[in-house]
A = this chain, B = another copy of it.
């Protein structure tokens, strides 16, 4: 019996129908341009309810009948769970209203998730489970979660490090323990999730103790179009010197910075291609990307005090041998290195790429957020 996993944005709906136990995917896809047209054939579906109908039609076209497969549950990806949601939950009215309370923390993301949940509640008479991207980090130690801001302001506006990509970090940490055949509880891990968004986490015994994304998904590593860390004085500087408004600075840092800002392109494959062809900006983008990665690997090594395994995941982490090689370059004295042949091998499964007997294992472990959500949804149901 599959779980339907939904990732609803304001104008798109990603779906996957997957069996939690086996990981077998019956169907997956994306419905786009929601709300951009009418239901009359031109443009996209009018709303999320119509998007679900479109999805069902596509499933039928693929020979999958949602009624016949015996849908077990719908698992919803919700970006922001705020300070309180530390686990997936069965959606009821109270949960929905709490997710609504979190809209100020994630104005671009949570509204889409709410609309998606409501549409799915109408459409399917099965349990709905919300899985939060922040949940894995909700128990960060206070010293890691707290910004050095006035306490009253921080309390009033719920300012703290939330972290994102939590479903991926949690899943990968678990899959890494499986790969190594060691109990999760025994491992100190640094997980690098390097996709369009990038984040690092420090995981001690299966619990996150630090992470690079913060109040918003803008902090930390260099990303496709996001700057990651900058001087907090930059905003006022750009306002004064370049005449930019705060909105313009925010847009700049989120949409026109990162690899895109330095290299002029945000696709990492293209950055590497241009670098290899001798493009100086692409070389700089690569170097800054790697420099920031080393920064966080070292920082989390210090927070953990020791390290069993460094794990690479997501689009760049799984597919870019040069990044993995560059991150551990010069870290042999700290026990980190990769075997060139293992690192270069093009495989899709979880694998170790450090030489046998390395003090610290370096691994590549594919992430699978949909499967993680499906499994967590199934787990919530089995708990009853």
Contacts and interface: CB of A to CB of B under 8 A. Distances in A.
B262 A148 contact: yes
Interface residues of A, number: 82
B234 A215 contact: yes
A305 B333 CA distance: 7
Given A150-B262, A236-B247, 9 more contacts: A107-B240, A146-B288, A147-B257, A156-B242, A214-B230, A214-B231, A294-B303, A305-B332, A334-B334
27 contacts: A107-B240, A143-B288, A143-B290, A146-B262, A146-B284, A147-B230, A148-B226, A148-B230, A148-B259, A148-B289, A149-B253, A149-B257, A150-B257, A150-B262, A159-B234, A161-B231, A213-B231, A216-B237, A219-B232, A233-B253, A236-B250, A291-B303, A297-B302, A298-B302, A299-B302, A302-B334, A305-B333
Nearest to A333: B306
Nearest to A219: B231
Interface in A308-340: 330-334
A296 to B, nearest CB: 7
> Max chain B CB contacts within 10 Å: which of A104, A227, A235?
A235
Interface in A134-155: 141-144, 146-151, 153
A303 B233 CA distance: 24
Nearest to A233: B216
A281 interface: yes
Contact of A231 (B156, B218, B285): B218
Contacts of A239: 246
A228 interface: yes
Nearest to A304: B330
Contacts of A149: 227, 230, 252-253, 257, 261-262
Contact of A143 (B148, B284, B296): B284
A191 to B, nearest CB: 16
B246 A288 contact: no
Contacts of A227: 147-149, 232
A213 B150 CA distance: 21
> Max chain B CB contacts within 10 Å: which of A219, A264, A291?
A291
Interface in A245-274: 246-247, 249-250, 252-254, 256-259, 261-262, 264
A241 B158 CA distance: 10
A157 interface: yes
A231 B249 contact: no
Contacts of A331: 302, 305
A303 B151 CA distance: 33
